[in-house]
């Protein structure tokens, strides 16, 4: 598939030519294809034309007014639901062309972000973590390109940070990235030795304000819990129930489904796919039994 909009034709092709694959797809997912319709008042048509008309490199709208308005009046909606996890996503290609989302607007956003990164370095606590961040009760884990700090406003009992040496959160090499993982996993091991009942690690990379980061300086969140966090537990239970009812491996089958749709890949023993029920757009799911802090293929896949 070149686009999620091609999925209906792909499903029809599987139904006609590959019944086994079609049945596997339908065993995991429910699909609904519909059309949303609306009426555009005359007073709003010019704005709609400028908002949603396709443009050439010079910024001129290349569609006719009739073509643009027809796309807005009749919108194809794709609803995909995972029967086992309850995850679901609605797709409409027009959503990517809303005001503020177009490429020209993205360029403005990039300039804003780069300016924000540059200006935030002037009085940045994370540029001097030994002075301006707390440390865990067992001290800090020092990596080659990063260091840990306790989270000043904790998410959980064990809640800390991997703070990068480099202030710019968008600028890092594979070596630096590997170090961030290694430092985080060294912290997990240290926490588990200190408090053995905490044994479920959680590594979060929420970069820049839109992802909820209060500090611009590059960093990751690291947490340890006594029980799996809710989404991880949900995936575990879904996998167990799937195994119980079908006798098959859920994670193998969901990877197979995405491979059938042309949305998967692999690197060594590590498999990955672009999810058709993403929580956020462009979500990639990685499946691996290897420790990502020590396995090169896992590191390269994430990187």
* Residue range 51-99, pLDDT digits in tens: 888 888 787 888 899 999 999 999 999 999 999 999 999 999 888 676 6
Residue ending a domain, choose from 101, 118, 135:
118
Residue 296: DSSP 8-state: H
Contact at 8 Å (CB) between 109 and 102? no
- Report residue 70 as tokens: 């027809």
Contacts of 291 (CB under 8 A, 6+ apart): 185, 298
- Report residue 91 as tokens: 């797709």
Question: Are residues 176 and 280 part of one domain?
Answer: no
Write out the residue range of the structural domain in which residue 296 sits.
231-302
Question: Are residues 114 and 9 part of one domain?
Answer: yes
pTM comes to: 0.89
Question: Are residues 236 and 223 part of one domain?
Answer: no
Question: Are residues 101 and 27 part of one domain?
Answer: yes
Flag whether pLDDT at 281 surpasses 90: no
| 164 closest CA partner among 148, 151, 152, 175 | 148
Contact at 8 Å (CB) between 84 and 250? yes
Q: What is the pLDDT of residue 110?
A: 86
Question: Are residues 274 and 237 part of one domain?
Answer: yes
The count of structural domains within the chain is 3
Flag whether pLDDT at 274 surpasses 80: yes
Question: Are residues 81 and 10 part of one domain?
Answer: yes
pLDDT tens, residue by residue, 261-270: 999 999 999 9
Alpha helices in 247-283 (DSSP H): 250-260
Question: Are residues 219 and 271 part of one domain?
Answer: no
């Amino acid at each position: 598939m070149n686009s999620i909009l091609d999925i209906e034709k792909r499903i029809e092709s599987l139904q006609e030519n590959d019944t086994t694959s079609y049945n596997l797809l339908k065993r995991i997912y429910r699909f609904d294809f519909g059309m949303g319709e609306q009426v555009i008042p005359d007073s709003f048509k010019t704005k709609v034309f400028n908002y949603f008309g396709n443009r050439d490199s010079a910024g001129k709208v290349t569609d006719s007014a009739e073509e643009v308005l027809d796309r807005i009046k009749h919108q194809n909606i794709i609803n995909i639901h995972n029967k086992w996890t309850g995850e679901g996503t609605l797709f409409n290609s027009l959503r990517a062309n809303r005001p503020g989302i177009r490429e020209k607007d993205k360029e403005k956003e990039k300039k804003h972000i780069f300016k924000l990164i540059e200006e935030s370095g002037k009085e940045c606590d994370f540029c001097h973590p030994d002075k301006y961040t707390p440390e865990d009760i067992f001290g800090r884990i020092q990596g080659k390109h990063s260091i840990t700090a306790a989270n000043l406003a904790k998410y959980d009992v064990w809640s800390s940070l991997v703070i990068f040496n480099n202030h710019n959160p968008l600028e890092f090499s594979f070596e630096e990235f590997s170090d961030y993982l290694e430092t985080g996993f060294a912290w997990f091991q240290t926490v588990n030795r200190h408090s053995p009942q905490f044994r479920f690690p959680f590594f979060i990379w929420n970069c820049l304000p839109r992802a909820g980061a209060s500090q611009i300086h590059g960093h990751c969140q690291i947490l340890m819990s006594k029980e799996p966090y809710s989404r991880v537990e949900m995936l575990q239970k879904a996998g167990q129930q799937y195994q119980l009812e079908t006798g098959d491996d859920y994670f193998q089958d969901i990877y197979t489904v995405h491979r059938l749709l042309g949305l998967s890949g692999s690197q060594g023993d590590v498999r990955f796919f672009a999810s058709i029920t993403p929580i956020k757009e462009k979500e990639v799911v990685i499946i691996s039994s290897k420790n990502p802090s020590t396995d090169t293929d896992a590191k390269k896949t994430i990187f």
